[in-house]
Amino acid sequence: MTVARRLLASLAGLAIVVITAVLVLAWHQGYRIWVVHTGSMIPTLQPGEAIVDQPVRARPYRGEIITFRYASGPDQVVTHRVYRESGGTIRTKGDANPTEDPWTLRASQVVGIPTAIIPDGGYIVVYLSQPAGAASVVTFTIMITLLWGLCFPSRPADADREPERRTHRRTGPRPARPLVSPAAGPGRRAGGRAAGPGHRSPRPAVR
106 domain-assigned: yes
Burial of 93 (0-12, 13-18, 19+ CB in 10 A): middle
Residue 34: name the closest of 138, 101, 115, 139 by CA.
115
Phi, psi values for residue 73, rounded to 5°: 130, 150
Average confidence (pLDDT) per 10 residues, the chain, 207 residues:
70 84 89 94 95 92 94 83 91 95 93 94 89 85 80 62 58 60 51 52 52
- Distance between CA 52 and CA 107 in Å, rounded? 19
- Distance between CA 165 and CA 169 in Å, rounded? 13
49 domain-assigned: yes
Q: Are 47 and 36 in contact (CB under 8 A)?
A: yes
pLDDT for 79 equals 96
78 domain-assigned: yes
Domains identified in the chain, total number: 1
pLDDT for 181 equals 52
153 domain-assigned: no
Domain span including residue 54: 32-119
Q: Are 129 and 75 in contact (CB under 8 A)?
A: no
pLDDT for 36 equals 95
Dihedral angle computed from the Cα positions of residues 177, 179, 185 and 188, in that order, rounded to the nearest 10 degrees: 140
First to last CA, the chain: 69
98 domain-assigned: yes
Q: How far is CA 83 from CA 48, 53, 108, 174, 201, in A?
A: 24, 19, 17, 110, 136
- Distance between CA 121 and CA 118 in Å, rounded? 5
116-145 confidence digits (pLDDT tens)? 999 999 999 988 888 888 888 888 888 887
186 domain-assigned: no
Which CATH number characterizes residue 72's domain? 2.10.109.10
100 domain-assigned: yes
Q: How far is CA 153 from CA 5, 34, 95, 163, in A?
A: 10, 43, 57, 21
pLDDT for 9 equals 72
Tally of CB atoms within 10 A around 110? 20
97 domain-assigned: yes
